[in-house]
Amino acid sequence: MTYRKLIACCFFFATLVASFSNGFAQSFPQKQIRMVVPFPPGSATDMAARIMGQQIGSALGQPVVIDNKPGAFGSIAAMEVIRSNPDGYTLLFSSNSAISSNVALLKKIPYDPTKDFTPVVGVGENMLVLVTKSNSQFKNLQELIAYAKQNPGKLSAGYGSSSSQVCIAMLNKLGGIEIMSVPYKGIPLAINDVLGETLDFTFADIGNALAQTKGGAMKSLGVTAPKRSSLAPEWPAIAETLPGFDITAWFAIVGPAGMPKDVVNKISSAAIASLKKQDVKEKLAAIGLATMPLTPDQLQSFISTEIINWTRLVKEANIQAE
């Protein structure tokens, strides 16, 4: 084969591949999309995923089915998505747990968040709330800390995410106390045990906290963001008692590594357009989320920064990797 013929063949195949890729993107999706959620139904992650799944499905013309796969702070769901076909039909709706926090919390994380995922779109940010049963003896955070100092190891708190785990550890460090922490597969399960008086308190997402406090079952002793929430301005920030306390969670959609760029952009564009709608903003705000519409490139940079941030938080909280 002559050099000119070789060049012509290469050009032909490159054009063929490009045409196939463009055609695939234009026809995508042709079937339902599966959105894997690493936490159980009723969690903030699950509720946000259902809102966004409905919006993305409506925009793309195919249903988005939510598949809850809780466990190991999102690692189980993450590995299922990583092992899937990178065609855009399997996505991970994740909190910071699986994408950034696990790097610091797990000794042997079975994947690399910077290499094994295709960033698709940023969705939102969410603060947590320290909640206890409504008839708890503690009227405020100061009383809880004072009791814990006099009774080290007697109080227990449940955590159902990496964010809530770090919150408990940071409360111990900044408050100079010793709270026994108990792991759960999701925050709703920890809330149930607080209501059943198996636990003294937990850190819940603000959506669940609002629902429980409005119903009179629980009360809030503080939010984890540095400032009070506009959703419940009467709730103090924990930082008002413990300066420097600042922990917020976030949510994003990623897929397995190697997804076609045009497909990624199609999903991302549909999600970002949805996040700009007033009714969608209100639905997310009702569960405590402030929108965070990040493009794939922006999300990639954000994830890298957040891995550094959560590694610092875990170190400062004196949490030993498991």
Taking only the tens place, the pLDDT of each residue in 236-269 is 999 999 999 999 999 999 999 999 999 999 999 9
Q: What is the pLDDT of residues 146-172, one digit of tens each?
A: 999 999 999 999 998 889 999 999 999
Q: DSSP assignment, residue 237?
A: B
Degrees, nearest 5: CA angle 191-159-252: 100
Let me know if residue 4 belongs to a domain. Answer: no
Average pLDDT over residues 260-282: 97
Mean pLDDT (the chain, rounded): 91
Q: What is the pLDDT of residues 85-134, one digit of tens each?
A: 999 999 999 999 899 998 988 888 999 999 999 999 999 999 999 999 99
Q: What is the pTM of this model?
A: 0.86
Let me know if residue 21 belongs to a domain. Answer: no
Let me know if residue 91 belongs to a domain. Answer: yes
The residues near 257 (Cβ < 8 Å, ≥ 6 apart) are 82, 86, 115, 116, 117, 118
Average pLDDT over residues 65-81: 92
Q: Which of 240, 268, 285 lies at the terminal end of a domain, its last residue?
A: 240
CATH number at residue 310: 3.40.190.150
Average pLDDT over residues 198-204: 96
Query: Token digits for 53?
Result: 């799944």
Q: Are 162 and 240 in contact (CB under 8 A)?
A: no
Domain around 216: 127-240
Query: Token digits for 269?
Result: 């564009």
Question: Facing residues of 203 across strands?
Answer: 130
Q: What is the pLDDT of residues 205-219, one digit of tens each?
A: 998 899 999 999 999
Residue 18 confidence (pLDDT) above 80: no
Q: Are 301 and 126 in contact (CB under 8 A)?
A: no
Q: Which of 249, 322, 247, 315 is nearest to 287 (CA)?
A: 249
- Structural domains counted in the chain: 2
Instruction: Give the span between the Cα atoms of 31 and 29, in whole angstroms.
Output: 6
Let me know if residue 37 belongs to a domain. Answer: yes
Q: Are residues 114 and 157 in the same domain?
A: no
Residue 11 confidence (pLDDT) above 50: no
CB atoms closer than 10 angstroms to residue 17? 10
CATH number at residue 151: 3.40.190.10
Q: Are residues 122 and 147 in the same domain?
A: no
pLDDT at 73: 79
Peptide linkage before 29 cis (omega within 30 of 0): yes
pLDDT at 25: 55
pLDDT at 170: 96
**DSSP string across 50-98:** HHHHHHHHHHHTS-EEEEE---GGGHHHHHHHHTS-SSSSEEEEEEHII
Q: Which of 240, 257, 273 lies at the terminal end of a domain, its last residue?
A: 240
Q: Are residues 83 and 96 in the same domain?
A: yes
Residue 307 confidence (pLDDT) above 90: yes
Instruction: Give the span between the Cα atoms of 62 and 80, in whole angstroms.
Output: 22
